[in-house]
Amino acid sequence: MTPTTFWESPACRSTSRLHYPLVLVAPTLANYVERVIALGRDAHARAAIRKRVLNAYETAPLFDVPGFVRDLERTYEAMWARHKAGLPPAPIEL
């Protein structure tokens, strides 16, 4: 595990907790170090985390790159259609 100090917002913490085991989300550096040491000593815990992350990778919308690209392209098409119609920028719901 590598400390990630840029995931500070509540939204990022919430998202990471949805897709990763809570043991990977540490509120402080000291807590992070404790968790890393504990995981280093517990092969079964590491295997369980690895399995959960791999399962999330295969099923979670966060990792659905083709779906993300599809939605992004639909958004661009809707933006372009508004532009061609002479409409100002506005929120787009798909």
Per-residue pLDDT, 3: 52
pTM of the predicted structure, to 2 decimals: 0.48
Buried b (16+ CB within 10 A) or exposed e, 48-82: ebeeebeeeeeeeeeeeeeeeeeeeeeeeeeeeee
* pLDDT tens for each residue of 1-51: 555 554 455 555 555 555 555 667 788 889 889 988 999 999 999 999 888
25 and 56, same domain (yes or no)? yes
42 and 70, same domain (yes or no)? no
Tokens of 79: 């933006």
74 and 55, same domain (yes or no)? no
2 and 20, same domain (yes or no)? yes
59 and 72, same domain (yes or no)? no
Domain that holds residue 25: 1-63
* pLDDT tens for each residue of 43-73: 999 999 888 888 877 777 777 889 999 999 9
69 and 84, same domain (yes or no)? yes
